[in-house]
Amino acid sequence: MLDDLTSKLDGVLKKIRGQGKINDKNIDESLREVRRVLFDADVNYKVVSKFISDVKEKSLGQNVLTSITPGQLIVKIINDELIKLMGSEKAEIKFSDRIPSVIMMVGLQGSGKTTFSAKLAKYLKAKGRNPLLAACDVYRPAAIEQLKILGKQAGVPVYSDLEEKDVLKISRDAIQYAKENARDTLIIDTAGRLAIDDEMMNEVSKIKDALQPEEILFVVDSMTGQDAVNTAKAFHDKLNYDGVILTKLDGDTRGGAALSIKAVVNVPVKFAGIGEKLDAIEQFHPDRMASRILGMGDIVSFVEKAQTEFDMSESGKLEEKLRKNKFDFNDFLSYMNQIKKMGSLSSLISMIPGANKMLKNQEVDDSALTKVESVILSMTNKERENPNLLNGSRRRRIADGSGNPIQQVNRVIKQFEDMQKMMKQFNRDKGRGLMKKMKLPANLMKEFKA
Amino acid sequence: MSFLDKIGLKKLKDGLNKTKENLVGKVNRLVNARGVIDDDFLVELEEILLASDIGFETSEKLIEKIKERTLTDKYVDQDELNKLINDELKRVFYDTTSEFKTFDFKSEIKPFVIMVVGVNGVGKTTSIGKLAYNFKNAGKSVLIGSADTFRAAANDQLDIWAKRAGVEIIQSNSSSDPASIAFDTIKSGLSKNTDVIIIDTAGRLHNKTHLMEELKKIKRVMQKVIPDAPHEIFIVIDSTTGQNGLNQAKEFSNALNGLTGIILTKLDGTAKGGIVLKINKEMKLPVRFIGVGEQIDDLQVFESEKFVEAMFGK
């Protein structure tokens, strides 16, 4: 997408080459493309207009250096401006000395409050807090039950009162319960509500007044369109919340809503939900969101994820083997397991800039890994250690044993040989840090185009 | 008298009231302020259109059309302009005829199987509760299959809706395989000669290959019992959804070899759901139902004429 934008802008700006400067005339057409990109990413139209005029101002009169294209220059200005707008600091959850510190989650229906409450509880627990969840959604059928189940999965107790319909009373009782049970953090899950529903907005407002939460978090679906600003603003007017939570960011939305909300209410996005599992939560990185809105991919998150998940001792062993050129099918298998730990191939690929483009529209088949695995597992130990043994009849036996056609077996062996070659190459260039290593899964992924 | 007539347009209009004020109010003010359709006017009109999530291209095309039609006569009054936009918007909507325009649709097919899909949190389960209620009220026997085995308490939620609607439900106790629940539901519906079977599925993001595979499997096993099932596959789209809605519709359609309709939910809020115009146009996928509230009767059969009218007013 970024490449797209850059090349489009270059096309538009070709004529600048001779002129050497970005001027009023040549920039208008290119900014039209930028507008389109921002609208396609769901950035609010007001924010877009303001943004475009800022970028125009910054771009005018800029000298086009010989080393970069005018398109690249404008994209750089846009990126810088976006980062400036998003902010660059990570924001933390506020706590006080009060027992318990209160965090209240609010938002529209279906934004992901209940799931995120449980994720946050688990996250804070791991940080050494002692959280309690309070089920204050008395409207949606089975919402309380949902929170109870999630609380159990997170290993965090849930306060609920199925008989009580008064949400204010439930939340007060939850505070009492927290005090009696030495819980230092209370996370209140509230019902989804429309910003224009006065009665329901008054309900959360009352909880706010009575409990004085240390932190009110507005939960918003990252796929939200232009309406994000209306809702964010209406909730902010009423509750003056402290942070925004962006959910379902593991989808393929560009998430322009995040930018719009930041621009309109100037409250930091604190966390993002990035999957259905309870540990799929991460601190929000505003600078990375800028690249995502422009479609640059999220290479930094990718590397970080790789860093935490890639078992260092395992990879050390792997390196040792590589040095000795002893990479066999057993190592291939363990290498694949390492990759699997990092998440689905498709989600990994979505984080690599340009990867989606590289793979065009070919679907990445996550089950391909399983197929490869089944082939390797049908080999004998000797075959795995010494792939040279794999002659025709052995290959046929493996095909039958693993329930794959013989072509699949041949393909896996070919992939393995390619990988061996890559490994040797890698071995020669080693010492360039993790970034280098990450090329391996990228290459491997290429093999798994469905 | 069908159930729908009783509700009429009131609720939709109430729900869209905010929307209507936004759009019509703004357009009106704009026309009054300027009196002339010039470039500035069109820029402002574009912003109004973009704010409804109909997307850059659709908005651009609409503006082009309006430009063309006002080229000869620069001055257009408020009513004329509203009508113009109205007409053009209606033209954007691609209309298809379907088995059911109402809940008491006549069908030779029995059981008539409906599968409901969509991303997380759009309102699938709630919509299914409402659908079941409406079909039941229209005199149909209904069976729901709860194939969302992933989300915590999804079963319980659907069970409560089924009770409210007064329809039967099949759900898992220990099995965690959604396909097997779908299979059981179809089998049971077939043996009981049920009129309508509705299969709920877990919310899933459309870029998760393995979850889309699961969806394909659910469809495949249903076809083991009834080869041409499901007869309808509805995607549920939240009206707050932005441009990503098109990706959602495309990916679900790719995985399932076609969708048959959209259920547009949460239209009682401030969001306008304009993305459905884009989906409708690009994919020839009609909106079938709209959700306008949290109560069981807050679901209506969609009619593009009325929708656009309610959206822009007369």
Mean pLDDT, residues A98-122 taken together: 96
Could you tell me which of A429, A432, A423 has the C-alpha nearest to residue A443?
A423
Q: Judge if A274 and A179 occupy the same domain.
A: yes
Q: B270 vs chain A: nearest CA distance in angstroms?
A: 7
Nearest to B243 among A40, A230, A363 (CB): A40
> Are B294 and A254 within 8 A, CB to CB?
no
Q: Do B240 and A228 touch (CB under 8 A)?
A: yes
Q: So what's the pLDDT on residue B94? A: 66
Task: Measure B5 CA to nearest chain A CA, in Å.
Answer: 26
Residue A92 belongs to a domain: no
Q: Which residue of B has its CA nearest to A111?
A: B121
Confidence of residue A86 (pLDDT cuts 50, 70, 90): confident
For residue A220, the chain B residue with the least C-alpha distance is B240
Considering its fold, how many domains does chain A have in total?
3
The answer to whether residues A159 and A179 belong to one domain is: yes
pLDDT above 90: residue A372: no
For residues A148 and A156, give the distance between their C-alpha atoms in angstroms, rounded to a whole number.
Answer: 9
Nearest chain A residue (CA) to B270: A227
CB atoms under 10 Å from CB of A341, counted, come to 14
Is A400 within 8 Å of chain B by CB? no
**Based on the domain organization, do A284 and A310 belong to the same domain?**
no
Question: What is the reported pLDDT for A435?
Answer: 40
Q: How far apart are CA A58 and CA A61, in angstroms?
A: 8
- Distance, in angstroms, between B38 CA and closest chain A CA? 19
Identify whether A93 is part of a domain. Answer: no
Span of A314-323, A400-409, B213-222, B254-263 with lowest mean pLDDT? A314-323
A139 reaches B (C-beta below 8 A): yes
Tens-digit pLDDT profile for residues A338-363: 666 665 666 556 555 555 445 544 45
Q: In chain B, which residues have their Cβ closer than 8 Å to the Cβ of A121?
A: none
**Using H for helix, E for strand and C for coil, what is the string for chain A?**
CHHHHHHHHHHHCCCHHHHCECCHHHHHHHHHHHHHHHHHCCCCHHHHHHHHHHHHHHHCCCECCCCCCHHHHHHHHHHHHHHHHHCCCCCCCCCCCCCCEEEEEEECCCCCHHHHHHHHHHHHHHCCCCEEEEEECCCCCCHHHHHHHHHHHHCCCEECCCCCCCHHHHHHHHHHHHHHCCCCEEEEEECCCCCCCHHHHHHHHHHHHHHCCCEEEEEEECCECCCHHHHHHHHHHHHCCCEEEEECCCCCCCCHHHHHHHHHHCCCEEEEECCCCCCCEEECCHHHHHHHHHCCCCHHHHHHHHHHHCCHHHHHHHHHHHHCCCCCHHHHHHHHHHHHHCCCHHHHHHCCCCHHHHCCCCCECCHHHHHHHHHHHCCCHHHHHCHHHCCHHHHHHHHHHHCCCHHHHHHHHHHHHHHHHHHHHHHHHCCCCHHHHHHHHHHHHHHCEC
Q: Is residue A94 part of a domain?
A: no
Last residue of a domain, one of A53, A86, A119: A86
Pair (A388, A271) in one structural domain: no
Q: What is the CATH number of the domain that holds A120?
A: 3.40.50.300
Kindly state whether A35 is in contact with chain B, defined as any CB-CB distance less than 8 angstroms.
Answer: yes
Residue A141, chain B, CB below 8 Å: the answer is yes
- A96 part of a folded domain: no
Q: Are residues A141 and A275 in the same domain?
A: yes
* Mean pLDDT score, A248-261: 90
Note whether A230 contacts B: Cβ–Cβ < 8 A: yes
Tell me the residues of chain A between 64 and 123 that have a Cβ less than 8 Å away from chain B. 108-112
pTM of the model: 0.77
Q: What is the mean pLDDT of chain A?
A: 80
Tell if the CB–CB gap between B152 and A149 is shorter than 8 Å. yes
Average pLDDT over residues A101-128: 96
Q: Distance, in angstroms, between A250 CA and closest chain B CA?
A: 8
Is A137 found in the same domain as A14? no
Residues of chain B with pLDDT under 70: 1-37, 72-78, 94-102, 173-176, 306, 308-314
Q: What pLDDT, on the 0 to 100 scale, is given for residue A424?
A: 66
pLDDT-derived band of residue A218, with 50, 70 and 90 as boundaries? very high
- Partners of A366 on chain B (C-beta within 8 Å) are 209-210, 213
- Is residue A179 domain-shared with residue A125, that is, in the same domain? yes
* CB-based contact, B268 to chain A, within 8 Å: yes
A311 and A208: one domain?
Answer: no
Determine contact: B11 vs chain A, CB below 8 A: no
Cα of B1 to nearest chain A Cα, Å: 31
**pLDDT at residue A101 is higher than 90:** yes
Of B160, B207, B245, the CB nearest to A350: B207
For A334, the domain range is 300-447
In a domain, A307, yes or no: yes
Q: Are strands A281-283 and A269-273 parallel, antiparallel or unpaired?
A: antiparallel
Q: Determine, for residues B56 and A364 on separate chains, whether the beta-carbon distance falls below 8 Å.
A: no
| Same domain for A417 and A320 | yes
Indicate which CATH number applies to the domain containing A31: 1.20.120.140
pLDDT score at A64: 61
A331: confidence class by pLDDT, cuts 50, 70, 90:
confident
Q: Which amino acid is at A28?
A: D
Q: Chain A partners of B268 at a C-beta cutoff of 8 Å?
A: 194
Question: What integer pLDDT is reported at residue A14 of this predicted model?
Answer: 57
Residue in chain A lying closest to B120 (CA)? A110
CB A114 within 8 A of CB A275: no
Contact B153 A227 (CB under 8 A): no
- Binned at pLDDT 50, 70 and 90, residue A286 comes out as confident
Contact across the interface for B56 and A39, Cβ inside 8 Å: yes
Strands B112-117 and A269-273: unpaired
Of A109, A147, A367, the CB nearest to B213: A367
Residue A445: exposure state from Cβ atoms within 10 A (0-12, 13-18, ≥19): buried
**Chain A partners within 8 Å of B243 (Cβ):** 39-42, 225, 254
Average pLDDT over residues A409-419: 83
- Predicted confidence at residue A133, as pLDDT, reads 98
Instruction: Select from A198, A276, A361 the residue whose CB has the most chain B CBs within 10 Å, as the one to mutate to test that interface.
Output: A276
Nearest CA in chain A to B211: A366
Residues A314, A392 share a domain: yes
> In Å, how far are A116, A131, A140 from A146, measured between CA atoms?
12, 17, 10
Domain-located, residue A305: yes
Domain boundary among A62, A86, A110: A86
- Please report the pLDDT score of residue A21 as a whole number: 65
How many contacts (CB atoms, under 8 Å) link A and B?
A: 166
> What is the pLDDT at residue A439?
45
CATH of the domain at A320: 1.10.260.30
A101-107 and A215-221 beta bridge pairing: parallel
Chain A contact for B21, CB < 8 A? no
Chain A residue with minimal CA distance to B294? A140
In tens, the pLDDT along A130-160 reads 999 999 999 999 999 999 999 999 999 999 9
pLDDT (0 to 100) of residue A100 = 96
Q: What is the mean pLDDT of residues A429-447?
A: 46
A356 contacts in B (CB within 8 Å)? Answer: none
Question: Closest Cα of chain B to A426: distance in Å?
Answer: 30
> Considering only CA atoms, which of B110, B168, B178 is closest in space to residue B143?
B168
pLDDT at position B313, please?
Answer: 45
Give residue B1's pLDDT: 29
Res A264 pLDDT > 70: yes
Nearest CA to CA, how far is B190 from chain A (Å)? 29
B146 at interface of A, judged by CB pairs closer than 8 A: no
pLDDT of residue B308: 67
Omega into A100 within 30° of 0, i.e. cis?
A: yes
A-chain CB neighbours of B53 within 8 Å are 42, 225-227
Q: Looking at the structure, do residues A334 and A362 belong to the same domain, yes or no?
A: yes
The answer on A128 and A277 residing in a single domain is yes
- Residue where a domain stops, chosen among A266, A295, A324: A295
The answer as to whether A28 is a domain residue is yes
- Indicate which of A51, A253, A361 best probes the interface with B, i.e. most B CBs within 10 Å of its own CB: A253
* Other Cβ atoms within 10 Å of B16 Cβ, number: 26
Interface residue A251 vs chain B (CB under 8 A): yes
In a domain, A95, yes or no: no
